[in-house]
Structure 1
């Protein structure tokens, strides 16, 4: 079991406060990262869809990765969720975001797989507040995550590196995954706010 030190989040919080996104190398401890990669490789991955609820569909012209949602059954998943819960608490204390929960899934991009430019949330229409991507392996070619400004200018092109985490505001930054060359493994996640007026958590986007 690894120990979570809230002080480790301070540089991440400072950088996020400055620009609304942050890349944190070595965020996930190496042993946990390896355990997560092994757990992913035991999952039954399915073609990822786009849209939510009735609008959900499979569209290979938009994205071609395969995913498996966390069910919290493995020790690796439980430890990762514990780490993200601590990060959620740190963000709520620092920025009063009212983050309510965290959802995430494994993702595998095989050679040629991509995800075209998109937003993870739309103003007033989603409860996703912060997007996270944790990289489970290091790739030498392909699969970069490109982050864009609200005006459409390229901010950063991030090469997947094992253990690193990128976090950004879900409704502010369009992003895309370039076609993979090397196999690319990651965890995509979202910190969410509960927008339900009935006291029930909103369904996942």
Structure 2
């Protein structure tokens, strides 16, 4: 992807994470694409936080480094089968939102720019793992917007996402422990997800 494409994705991530933390956007109003993404991804995020509260309450997110480690582990597992679609791309933003919100709840005096750090590695993951697919599937205007504008149906995707997140946080999936939340080198700490994927997902 080009620098312009990366900056656009980065701006989408920043806008979304600002929206999650309810930080006013002083510089400029979000684009139409950004507003649609906020609606869709935040709906997914709220569903996850409601249905999986017990799982989310059971692990600590103590720093940006912890957010980065958990995010990369989960997303790498999610995309290891090579299947890409708009639904999965939306879950990247939503998962970043879940982790950042968890961090803001656990860390007193969270740096106001924390969302910028998270948005950077969210955008990097999207660029490195789905950038070419996005370009080949209409980009954000002709691909994403046609899929998720209000007139488009996406409830099936929402239900599918809830199932995926249950797999993320199931007892069989081992996240970073409370005792060593920042480590990803110990084999016992590695995230293992018993997930299967269907190429016909939204």
TMscore range, shorter length: under 0.3
Name the one with the larger helix percent: 2
Q: TM-score, normalised by structure 2?
A: 0.26
Q: Taking CA–CA contacts closer than 8 Å with sequence separation of 6 or more, which of the two structures ends up with the larger relative contact order?
A: 2
Name the one with the larger strand percent: 1
Q: TM-score, normalised by structure 1?
A: 0.25
